[in-house]
Structure 1
Amino acid sequence: QELSFLRSQVSTLKSQIDQTNSRIKELEKMEK
């Protein structure tokens, strides 16, 4: 079913965004 496929895509993307955001924060700390 398309809806459940889309929902799982969203969860995957959200976790990728979270990981990327925390990586950005780490890099920002290092730069300062």
Structure 2
Amino acid sequence: VRTLVQKSFKAALDENDLLVSPAAPTVAYKI
């Protein structure tokens, strides 16, 4: 699994200079 993630990140970074992603991997909690 880790190898697949590394390959996908490398492929994305080869095509783009910047990756934008959410700060937290989970949904924000209700206030």
Query: Deviation digits for residues 1-32 of structure 1, max 9, x if unmatched?
Result: xxxx00000000000000004xxxxxxxxxxx
When the two structures are superposed, what TM-score results if normalisation uses the length of structure 2?
A: 0.50
Using the size of structure 1 for normalisation, the TM-score is: 0.49
More helix, by proportion: 1
Aligned residues: 17
Counterpart position of 2:4: 8
* Off by >3 Å, runs of 4+ in structure 1: none
What is the RMSD computed on CA atoms of the aligned residues?
Answer: 0.8
For residues 13 and 7 of structure 2, the distance between their equivalents in structure 1, rounded to whole angstroms, comes to 10
User: Taking CA–CA contacts closer than 8 Å with sequence separation of 6 or more, which of the two structures ends up with the larger relative contact order?
Assistant: 2
